[in-house]
Amino acid sequence: MPAQEAESNAQSHYTGSSSRRKRWWIFLLVICLLAVGVYALLVKTGKIPFGGSANQAKAPPPGLPVVAVPAKKGDFNIFITGLGAVTPVYTVTVKSRVDGQLMEVLYREGQMVKQGDLLAVIDPRPFQVQLMQAEGQLARDEALLKNAVIDVERYRVLWQQDSVQKQQLDTQEALVRQYEGVVKTDRGLIDSAKLQLIYCRIMSPISGRVGLRLVDPGNIVHATDPNGLLVITQLQPITVIFPISEDYLPLVVPKLRAGKELIVEAYDREDKHKLAVGSLLTIDNQVDPTTGTVKFRAIFPNKGDELFPNQFVNAHLLVDLRVGATIVQTSAIQRGPRGTYVYVVNKDKTVTQRLSEIGETQRGQTIIKAGVEPGELVVVDGAERLRDGARVEVKVQADDRTPKGGR
């Protein structure tokens, strides 16, 4: 009996635990069904989008990152550009005008010399000997002339006394004239010898910079030597010769004839750094038929030796000025089937595709004739991904360039 009673109690305890667990699962199921119903109701009313939360519904989509720069208003310089070469006003190859041994060289390579400075000395002794010979010959011939003049006076007295014939007097007078010619020749020889002595001292014909030495002291030099002794180049002032298309002649020629000074700026070979500022000096007298260009020559003071002979430079000739123009960076200009346009950033961080009429372009900046107002933000980087009305995240770039054609 006790064993049967214990078995009965255990069975009743198991049955009670099982019923309690069943009620707990039913309660969880009811809660889950209520939660699903509430979620479905919120999705249906639009308070929660399907697959997202209420916070996600309020967040707008991110904008496209772009860089924008405000359009500016200012004066815009119009330049004509051409690749030219620095050309000295004067370049002189100094040669010896006499034959002889080079005794002294009195200059340093690269030295700046002035006109009239002594550069070199040729051995003067042979020409000193020639001078002494010419002076001796002159002294002898002057003595002969003096004696002949005295004889003429005697013959004239004798002819007046009818003691000699007229022919003898005429012969003596001819002898005097002959000696006068010889004396004049002797004096010419003396002057020639003195001139050769002057040529033995080689002077600088111009002011400028001396190049490398071509002949060392001790060598025999000749007047016919093709290379000469040295080369002197004038650096101050200096000129730049550059070709410009013949199409620009109507813009330049009237101003040059009117005496107006036209500014020319010289930039380095990469056209990035300004080297010097000068003015237009003259224009060539003919057009090159093979290239359709005309050579222009500009002159620069070159006080600081910014320009070097035969250096290649980019010459920028200022021909006009646009006052009060609207200017944007050239990278903002886009082209499409309807023409040129720019993307203007609105206050709500969207962009508008604005058709624009453009003008001249200089060194990364362009004139906008119509379509953009000064102060409006225009996209200069990232425009290739945009469409009209697109939302953007704007990074405003400081435009350090002056509104004068990039200068």
Q: How far apart are CA 332 and CA 344, in angstroms?
A: 10
Range with the largest mean pLDDT of 2-11, 158-167, 295-304: 295-304
SS3 262: coil
* pLDDT mean over 114-122: 95
- 396 burial via Cβ count (<10 Å: 0-12, 13-18, 19+): exposed
Averaged pLDDT, 245-266: 91
Is the C-alpha dihedral spanning 268, 274, 276, 279 positive or negative?
positive
pLDDT tens-digit series, residues 145-186: 999 999 888 888 888 887 778 888 888 889 989 999 999 999
- 352-397: pLDDT as tens digits: 888 888 888 877 888 888 888 888 888 888 888 888 888 888 887 7
DSSP string, 186-242: HHHHHHHHHHHHHHTEEEPSSSEEE----S-TT-EE-TT-SS-SEEEE--SSEEEEE
| pLDDT at res. 59 | 53
**pLDDT tens digits, 50-109:** 454 444 445 566 778 888 888 888 888 888 999 999 999 999 999 999 999 999 999 999
Kindly provide the residue ranges of all beta strands, DSSP E only, lying in 229-376, ordered along the sequence.
Answer: 230-233, 238-245, 263-267, 274-283, 293-300, 312-329, 334-336, 339-345, 351-355, 357-362, 365-370
Determine the Cα–Cα distance for residues 74 and 224; give it in Å rounded to an integer. Answer: 62
Residue position matching structure tokens 């004038």:
234
- What confidence tier does 3 reach under pLDDT thresholds 50, 70, 90? very low
DSSP for residue 307: S
Across the range 266-287, mean pLDDT stands at 93
Domains and CATH numbers, the chain: 20-59 (no CATH), 66-73+324-396 (2.40.420.20), 80-89+233-321 (2.40.30.170), 97-229 (2.40.50.100)
**Average pLDDT taken over every residue of the chain:** 84
Residues contacting residue 175 through CB under 8 Å, at least 6 positions apart = 148, 151
SS3 content of the chain, % helix, strand, coil (to 5): 35, 35, 30
Task: Answer for the pair 383, 344: CB distance below 8 angstroms, yes or no.
Answer: no
For residue 335, how many other CB atoms are within 10 A of its CB? 9
Q: Return the pLDDT at 301.
A: 95
* From 111-125, 288-302, 369-383, the region with the lowest mean pLDDT: 369-383
Q: Which residue did the predictor score with more confidence, 396 or 268?
A: 268
pLDDT-derived band at 41, boundaries 50, 70, 90: low
286: phi then psi, degrees, rounded to nearest 5: -155, 155
Residue with more model confidence, 399 or 190:
190
Give 46's pLDDT tier (boundaries 50, 70, 90): low
